Amino acid sequence: MSNNRQPDWDPRSPAVFDDQIAAYDRMRGRCPVARSDYLHWSVFRHADVLRVLEDHGTFSNVVSRHPSVPNGMDPPEHTAYRALIEPYFAPERVRAFQPVCRGVAADLVGQLPAGGGVELMGGFARDFALRIQCAFMGWPAELHEPLRQWTHRNQEATLSGDRAATAAVALEFDGFVRGLLDARRKAGNAAPDDVTTRLLRERIGDRPLRDEEIVSIVRNWTVGELGTIAASVGILAHYLAAHPDLQRRIREDPSLLPAAIDEILRIHAPLIANRRMTTRAVEIGGRRLEAGARISLIWASANRDEAVFGDPDEFRLDRDSAHNLLYGAGIHVCPGAELARLELRVVMEELLARTRAFALMPDKPPVRATYPAGGFTSLALWVERCS
């Protein structure tokens, strides 16, 4: 393990693409800090990932040439922007959003077939993520279809690894947001009192937020939300379909849902990795990394570390949630964690309350997503909806 020049693994090999989670489990035991041409340095163990998260002086979040507010910032810059955005996810705002969230979820469950097969990712999970994010941001329904098409193009560009295509898709999204900002400026006092309008009124220090800062904030909220929430819905539905006894238990006692959701998403991560960069030479996991080394924190591995969780596939409702890195840790812990928990709880409550049962379809096996996505690209379920 001392040779830092030769790759330790290939994250894009067929064996990894066949089952990402199993591949990361193997790497955690074989080479817990591993180098590859594609991901540079990958960190697989819980303790090492937590060390990186808590030492933002050594492991910087400034990993891109493009501004990322506030995800791609370090203190003290990060501190001011983080304080600006946290009120948008305050408990009272999250609670106030619950009726809207429930309405979207109930409407989508009501559109499922009364009995029969459904492709849950395209026909339910992605629509839920899209509609719920637009509702939270205050965006009009006319944006649903353009944003749905954009999400598809973004996924294709990301999977292709084509930097020019990725940049073009990012620029297109920026145009969406700038158009919304322009419309609200033109409306003046008649602009809707929503998240997008409120961001226009924010100040950082002694000046208003610049448009490129607002665009970056909205991009971070939206792009991550659309992919991660959709993936989470698919993972949760798949797990409950594959474990009918647990599905039955939660139907009988919905109060188990919050803990069950966190535990299922610990077992099968919706978000695979996050990036950091070293600010100085450092040793971690028996490997020496020089200053400027690029790191991938593999959430999908750290949350399954046997040293913390024992059998990573054992479902337990009594786990200490403090160990679960589903929403990260440290100063960059996800500010929207409680909003995400609300959205996932509500959508699963509605799915369970408005159906009698749902199950996997053996003749249509699910298709797993590949890095950087988690979950499934396709998930066929047999659903029996309540009349």
How far apart (Å, rounded) are the C-alpha atoms in residues 338 and 336? 6
Average pLDDT over every residue of 48-63: 96
Average pLDDT over every residue of 256-271: 97
Percentage of the chain exceeding pLDDT 90: 81
Selected residue with higher pLDDT from 5 and 251: 251
| 85 C-beta neighbours (distance < 10 Å), count | 17
Mean pLDDT of the chain: 93
**Taking the C-alpha atoms of 282, 288, 289 and 290 in order, what is their torsion angle to the nearest 10 degrees?**
80
Percentage of the chain exceeding pLDDT 70: 98
- For 11-52, write each residue's pLDDT tens digit: 999 999 999 999 999 999 999 999 999 999 999 999 999 999
CATH superfamily for domain 14-385: Cytochrome P450 (1.10.630.10)
pLDDT at 367: 95
8 Å CB contact between 369 and 126 = no
Q: Is the pLDDT of residue 267 over 70?
A: yes
Average pLDDT over every residue of 258-287: 97
pLDDT at 166: 80
User: Quick one: pLDDT band at residue 240, thresholds 50, 70, 90?
Assistant: very high
With the C-alpha atoms ordered 358, 360, 363, 365, is the resulting torsion angle positive or negative?
positive
Q: Is the pLDDT of residue 354 over 80?
A: yes
Supply 66's token pair: 């493009």
Q: Is the pLDDT of residue 242 over 60?
A: yes
Between the alpha carbon of residue 228 and those of residues 28, 153, 270, 338, the distances in Å are 23, 16, 6, 14
pLDDT at 150: 86
Q: Is the pLDDT of residue 341 over 70?
A: yes
pLDDT at 1: 45
pLDDT at 168: 85
Q: Is the pLDDT of residue 266 over 90?
A: yes
pLDDT at 4: 64
User: Quick one: pLDDT band at residue 114, thresholds 50, 70, 90?
Assistant: confident
Give 358's DSSP letter.
E
| Residue spans of beta strands (DSSP E) within the chain | 33-36, 40-43, 59-60, 115-119, 203-204, 207-208, 273-278, 282-284, 287-289, 294-298, 355-360, 367-368, 376-378, 380-385
- For 125-179, write each residue's pLDDT tens digit: 999 999 999 999 999 888 888 888 888 888 777 777 777 888 888 888 889 899 9
Q: Is the pLDDT of residue 83 over 80?
A: yes
Q: What is the pTM of this model?
A: 0.95
User: Quick one: pLDDT band at residue 6, thresholds 50, 70, 90?
Assistant: confident
Q: Is the pLDDT of residue 3 over 60?
A: no
pLDDT at 300: 96
Beta bridge pairs of residue 282: 289
Q: Is the pLDDT of residue 262 over 50?
A: yes
Q: What is the 3-state secondary structure (H, E, C) of 105-138?
A: HHHHHHCCCCEEEEEHHHHHHHHHHHHHHHHHHC
Closest CA to 221 of 96, 302, 135: 135
For 207-253, the DSSP string reads EEPPHHHHHHHHHHHHHHHHHHHHHHHHHHHHHHHH-HHHHHHHHH-
Average pLDDT over every residue of 88-105: 97
Total residues found in the chain within this entry: 387
Supply 42's token pair: 């990958």
8 Å CB contact between 264 and 232 = no
